[in-house]
């Protein structure tokens, strides 16, 4: 039997395009004489659908699309993810896999719901304990939905082993929409390999690719043989339609090179895909960013050029009286290396005008962070003006380290439609810069080696306000990703005063993050939907 794996990118609620893409894949599989084509979890309406599921019309359009897809499955069958109603007259659904062939439509339902920082499935879905065995052309498939086995959910594994013992299937088929984070590919491969080895059955894991604003799906679908060896992997961060012959999964055929890309390579490719999908799915084509000569704006611009093309990315230089000559030179060298257009607006006259107007109100109080923030907000206004005038989307360049401790100005350098580096620690930004420069110098070397600075006052350095990024990022990682409190982090060997300061800054600046741009998620715990904290709490872990 030949099975086509359709690792595709779907858009939430774009039923016409999703259905067209699905039917085209069925036709392609049919031309290759495939018996079955498999699509990801919840493909028809896009995932996560969230509260779209509370509208009757969403479920109705899912059903209408499924009918069109089923009509296309006269020769080649398909399995596709869809929310299917529990009852005709309510708003509860099963997370289902629909099997369509020759007029038959049969549903298999997810039996263990996932409630995590990203997915609150019990809000709209019910679970099921019905059998998940599909008989098709003399072969028995066990059909799984979701990524529970990747996360070592015991109930999923217990259910799988119990059903395998009862029904004796010959293959396991798992459709999923498994979100990306930097270590996810390795976790996924290791976990599923163990399941394939434990069951002694070939295992096919079909994942979605593409971005839904902040949530990125990396693809990287996997096929294991009956000995738990990796036989095939689809590409990361790309659509792919590939056909495999099931017979090879019982003949000991394995990949000659199953090494995964380095994490920084995966993060780079994830961010490029995230930018591209954000623009394409919202109908945008041009990006704008403030180009300071610093590392964050340089890496953001390089990523945007990879995603959108140099002609579609504009850098706006806004030097002040505190900008060093090399910052301007570095910014222009970067733009020249990338082939991107730039514009320059001096902000010193605007800053002076603000200070003159505010002086009577300020009552001769000495300069402090207020004047620094005014400069950042002038830049924010200029960026948004150019964005509005030319229909460009402003990319925010703040990194995760800065966002975590509030080292940014609301309505200033925190402006933007999308925070490209908002889930990337500063130390990882350096690694991205070196990866971008792997073949030739794109980001000027001086941009990478100079001490980071906001350049809002004379001789300012980030280190004036923050611990060294090598220390800061480790503390933040322990606190945010590993969810450790101060006592636990101090036991890891970090200075108690530094830990207390960092955790206090994280807590105090929750109000800023609530107003920030959507963040492309590349870690296991990102700001936004992935981390829900109250504002104004007195509790600091």
- Banded model confidence at residue 532, pLDDT cuts 50, 70, 90: confident
Let me know how long the chain is: 541
Please compute the mean of the pLDDT values over residues 70-93 and round it to a whole number.
90
Residue 53 predicted with pLDDT over 90: yes
**Rounded to an integer, what distance in angstroms lies between the CA atom of residue 328 and that of residue 344?**
10
How high is the mean pLDDT of the chain?
A: 93
pLDDT of residue 273: 98
- Banded model confidence at residue 434, pLDDT cuts 50, 70, 90: very high
pLDDT of residue 155: 67
- Cβ neighbors of 263 (< 8 A, separation 6 or more) are 182, 183
Residue 30 predicted with pLDDT over 90: yes
Residue 278 predicted with pLDDT over 80: yes
pLDDT (tens digit, 9 = 90+) per residue, 316-361? 999 998 888 889 999 999 999 999 999 999 999 999 999 999 999 9
Which CATH number, 3.90.650.10, 3.40.47.10, 3.60.110.10, 1.10.287.3510, labels domain 2-251?
Answer: 3.60.110.10
Four-CA torsion 57, 59, 62, 67, nearest 10 degrees:
-100
**Rounded to an integer, what distance in angstroms lies between the CA atom of residue 221 and that of residue 198?**
20
List residues bridging with 222 in a β-sheet.
205, 233
**Rounded to an integer, what distance in angstroms lies between the CA atom of residue 509 and that of residue 268?**
27
The closest alpha carbon to 173, from 184, 158, 162, 160, belongs to 160
- Banded model confidence at residue 255, pLDDT cuts 50, 70, 90: low
pLDDT (tens digit, 9 = 90+) per residue, 281-309? 999 999 999 999 999 999 999 999 999 99
Residue 132 predicted with pLDDT over 70: yes
Residue 234 DSSP symbol: P
**Taking the domains of the chain in order of start, what are their residue ranges?**
2-251, 267-463+510-514
pLDDT of residue 153: 67
Query: Which backbone phi and psi does 428 adopt, to 5 degrees?
Result: -75, -30
pLDDT of residue 443: 98
pLDDT (tens digit, 9 = 90+) per residue, 390-400? 999 999 999 99
How is domain 267-463+510-514 classified at the architecture level of CATH?
A: 3-Layer(aba) Sandwich (3.40)
Query: How far, in Å, are 22, 330, 399, 400, 473 from residue 469 at the CA level?
Result: 46, 22, 11, 11, 6
pTM: 0.95
Query: Which backbone phi and psi does 536 adopt, to 5 degrees?
Result: 80, 15
Residue 254 predicted with pLDDT over 70: no
């Amino acid at each position: 039997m030949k099975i086509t794996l359709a690792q595709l990118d779907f858009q939430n609620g774009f039923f016409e395009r999703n259905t067209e893409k699905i039917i085209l894949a069925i036709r392609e599989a049919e031309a290759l004489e495939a018996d079955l084509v498999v699509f990801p979890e919840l493909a028809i309406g896009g995932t996560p659908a969230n509260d779209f599921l509370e509208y009757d019309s969403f479920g109705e359009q899912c059903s209408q699309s499924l009918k069109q897809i089923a009509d296309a499955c006269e020769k080649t069958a398909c399995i596709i993810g869809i929310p299917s109603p529990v009852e005709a007259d309510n708003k509860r659904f099963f997370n289902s896999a629909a099997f369509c062939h020759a007029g038959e439509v049969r549903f298999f339902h997810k039996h263990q719901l996932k409630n995590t920082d990203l997915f609150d499935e019990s809000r709209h879905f019910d679970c099921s304990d019905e059998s998940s065995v599909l008989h098709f052309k003399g072969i028995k498939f066990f059909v799984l939905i979701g990524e529970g086995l990747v996360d070592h959910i015991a109930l999923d594994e217990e259910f799988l082993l119990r059903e395998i013992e009862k029904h004796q299937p010959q293959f396991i088929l798992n459709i999923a929409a498994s979100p990306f984070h930097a270590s996810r590919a390795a976790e996924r491969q290791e976990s599923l390999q163990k399941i394939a080895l434990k069951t002694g059955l070939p295992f096919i894991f079909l994942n979605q690719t593409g971005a839904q604003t902040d949530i990125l799906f990396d693809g990287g679908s996997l096929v294991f043989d009956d000995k738990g060896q990796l036989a095939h992997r689809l590409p990361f961060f790309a659509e792919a339609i590939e056909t495999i012959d099931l017979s090879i999964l019982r003949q000991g055929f394995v990949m000659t090179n199953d090494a995964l890309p380095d994490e920084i390579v995966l993060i780079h490719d994830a961010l490029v895909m995230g930018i591209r999908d954000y623009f394409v799915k919202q109908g945008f084509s041009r990006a704008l960013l403030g180009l300071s000569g610093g590392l964050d704006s340089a890496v953001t611009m390089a990523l945007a050029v990879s995603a959108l093309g140099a002609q579609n990315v504009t850098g706006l230089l806004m030097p002040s009286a505190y900008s060093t000559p090399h910052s301007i030179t570095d910014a222009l060298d970067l733009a020249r290396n990338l082939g991107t257009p730039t514009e320059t607006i001096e902000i010193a006259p605007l800053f002076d005008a603000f200070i003159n107007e505010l002086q009577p109100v300020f009552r001769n109080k000495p300069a402090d962070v207020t004047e620094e923030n005014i400069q950042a907000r002038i830049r924010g206004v200029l960026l948004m003006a150019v964005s509005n005038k030319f229909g460009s989307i402003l990319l925010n360049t703040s990194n995760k380290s800065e966002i975590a401790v509030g080292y940014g100005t609301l309505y200033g350098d925190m402006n933007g439609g999308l925070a490209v580096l908002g889930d990337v620690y500063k130390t990882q930004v350096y690694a991205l810069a070196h990866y971008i420069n792997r073949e030739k110098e794109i980001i000027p070397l001086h941009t990478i080696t100079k001490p980071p600075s906001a350049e809002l006052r004379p001789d300012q350095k980030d280190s004036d306000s923050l611990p060294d990024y090598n220390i800061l990022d480790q503390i933040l990682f322990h606190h945010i990703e590993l969810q450790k409190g101060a006592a636990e982090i101090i036991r890891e060997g970090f200075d108690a005063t530094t830990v207390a300061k960092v955790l206090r800054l994280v807590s105090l600046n929750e109000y800023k993050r609530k107003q920030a741009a959507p963040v492309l998620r590349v870690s296991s715990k990102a700001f936004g939907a992935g981390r829900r904290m109250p504002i104004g709490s007195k509790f600091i872990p």
